[in-house]
Amino acid sequence: MSLAQLQRDFRAWLVDGSDDAARSFGAGAAAGLTVYQNNYRAQLVGCIEQSFPRVHAWLGDDAFLRAAITHIDSHPPGAWTLDVYARNFDETLTALFPDNPDLHELAWIENALSEAFVAPDAEPVSIDALSAIDWDSAQLRLSPSLMSRAATTNADSIWTALQEEREPPDGEMLAEPAGLIVWRRGFTSCLKKVDALEYEALVHLQSDGSFVALCDMLVDRLGEADAIAKAGALLAGWLGNELIAGVDHIASHRHQSN
């Protein structure tokens, strides 16, 4: 048997428990094959458990283990790093629990916090560095760790309670649409619920960093009088939270050192 065929048979044994594949290793192979399959499955379950401790607590042991096994059976790992294996576990949860948006958002939070933890480093811009900026041409660069999604439930409150080992609230739909943002400050991953306008502003800024375009969007939503004050307040909040990683200038392509 060629090495490639042997490795394909091993894959078939690990992923599907194929009897045909097991037979190809000979009569005395059963004990060893069992060890390798146990190692394979235990490692993947452990990876999902480590990646989603709050989802685990929220779902309970039995439901979580069933979801993990479903995921392992339908998503054999492919990447060289185990760190990314659990990243699409939220798809399995959505398929298994389609009517639980709180669970979907809780899984997104855990995933995003893990990704932010090892996202590229970036020095935050300080408020002092903004004094000489030409705002007409300013292009804001957000932290490379920033991730966001629309929020429809109180998943952030559930996550926070579980994180603090408090009794979590029941899952509820939000009265108003909102957004969830996750990013890293220093070495700490952070979670924040923002109102719908701030969420829209951040999404807008991620696709078009122009400060002028951001102000135009805010004028469109709030009118001219309130938009300027809102832009200032948002900017101050983002700077305070270390969400701004740089300011470029469209016209001259000068880079603001910070």
Partner 1 sequence: MPASNPLFSGYGVGLRKEHYRDFLETAVPVDFVEVISENFMVDGGQPRHILRRVRERHPVALHGVSMSIGSADGLDRDYLRRLKALVDETEPLFVSDHLSWSRIGRFNSHDLLPVPYTEEALDIVCANISMAQDALGRTMLFENPSSYLAVGAAAMTEWEFIAAMCRRTGCELLLDVNNVFVSATNHGFDALAFLDGIPAEHVRQIHLAGHSQGVDLLIDTHDREVCSDVWTLYARAIARLGPVATMIERDGDIPALASLLDELSIARRLGAIDAHARARVAA
Question: Which residues are near partner 1 by CB under 8 A?
Answer: 1-4, 6-8, 10-11, 14-15, 25, 29, 31-33, 35-36, 39-40, 43-44, 76-83, 85, 116-122, 144, 184, 187
Taking the complex as a whole, the smallest distance from the CB of residue 146 to partner 1 amounts, in Å, to 13
Report the residue number, 34 or 177, with the smaller CB distance to partner 1. Answer: 34
Taking the complex as a whole, the smallest distance from the CB of residue 57 to partner 1 amounts, in Å, to 21
Report the residue number, 100 or 206, with the smaller CB distance to partner 1. Answer: 206
Taking the complex as a whole, the smallest distance from the CB of residue 191 to partner 1 amounts, in Å, to 16
Per DSSP bridges, beta strands 138-142 and 244-249 are antiparallel
Report the residue number, 77 or 171, with the smaller CB distance to partner 1. Answer: 77
State whether residue 247 is helix, strand or coil: strand
Taking the complex as a whole, the smallest distance from the CB of residue 122 to partner 1 amounts, in Å, to 8
Write down how long the chain is: 258
- Cross-strand pairs, 115: none
Six-digit token string for 140 = 């804001």
| Amino acid in position 32 | G
Taking the complex as a whole, the smallest distance from the CB of residue 77 to partner 1 amounts, in Å, to 5
Cβ-Cβ contacts under 8 Å for 28 (sequence gap 6 or more): none
Q: Count H helices, E strands: the chain?
A: 11, 5
Taking the complex as a whole, the smallest distance from the CB of residue 117 to partner 1 amounts, in Å, to 5
Block residue for tokens 């979670």: 191
Six-digit token string for 10 = 């091993």
Report the residue number, 214 or 245, with the smaller CB distance to partner 1. Answer: 245
Report the residue number, 11 or 255, with the smaller CB distance to partner 1. Answer: 11
Report the residue number, 126 or 188, with the smaller CB distance to partner 1. Answer: 188
Six-digit token string for 183 = 């990013």
Q: Please give the full DSSP string across 49-109, using - where no structure is assigned.
A: HHH-HHHHHHH-HHHHHHHHHHHHHH----SS-GGGGGGGHHHHHHHH-TT-HHHHHHHHH
